[in-house]
Amino acid sequence: MPDCKIYFESILFFMSRPKSRDDRASRLIDLIDRLGRLVRSQIHESGMVPAQWDALRYLARCNRFSNTPGALAKFLHATKGTVSQTLNALERKGLVTRQPDPVSGRVVRLALSAKGRALASRDPVPELSQHAETVLARDADTTERVLSGMLAEMQRAHGFKPFAVCHTCRHFQPDAKHGAPHWCGLLHEKLSESDSGALCAEHEAA
């Protein structure tokens, strides 16, 4: 629960009116930052640090081609050393396992343990999704266009990979005739329905 000071600050914050395009842009960034801080405060209450939750959330959502420490580091825009420390902490908590890939032994595959999956299902971010649904119901086009446009611009400006969900990739072939619901034209692998909604390190925008 926010204390009185935060509540009072929020009222003052929301009462201030944007005066120009620049004001509107900086106010939008402030709002996003405040939302992030609210989520982070809930994360701290769960006894985890944000980086650990980010890793847990990624592993709950990524596909089987993207469950490596390297892909996680790219997704988080973090160094391999930082990600390794995060994974060590998650392993000590019994939330994540590391196994050598059965085909290429040099590749390490990450997976959530049963305890990790249970914790990931209590992710505080979905509450934000519920609120987003309410806002999107009022003005879906503008809200989604502004936020996804900002994300794409930032990724382009800094040369980051997009890591979007599989079914929006240009290599995704729906209803392919390979005995599976879908097909990956890049990796030449069958894709299930759940694969089609997973994050992929190899994603390329359509």
Site of interaction with ligand SF4 (CB under 6 A): 63, 65, 166, 169, 171-172, 184, 186-187, 200, 202-203
182-184 sheet: strands from edge to edge: 172-174, 182-184, 189-191
Does residue 199 contact residue 60 with C-beta atoms inside 8 Å?
no
Least distance to ligand SF4, CB of residue 106, Å = 21
Least distance to ligand SF4, CB of residue 28, Å = 29
In the bound state with ligand SF4, the residue whose beta carbon lies nearer, of 91 and 202, is: 202
Least distance to ligand SF4, CB of residue 82, Å = 25
* Alpha carbons 21 and 43: distance in angstroms, whole number: 33
In the bound state with ligand SF4, the residue whose beta carbon lies nearer, of 72 and 169, is: 169
Phi, psi for residue 83 in degrees, rounded to 5? -65, -40
In the bound state with ligand SF4, the residue whose beta carbon lies nearer, of 112 and 200, is: 200
Residue 64: how many other CB atoms lie within 10 Å: 13
Phi, psi for residue 30 in degrees, rounded to 5? -60, -40
In the bound state with ligand SF4, the residue whose beta carbon lies nearer, of 62 and 95, is: 62
Least distance to ligand SF4, CB of residue 167, Å = 8
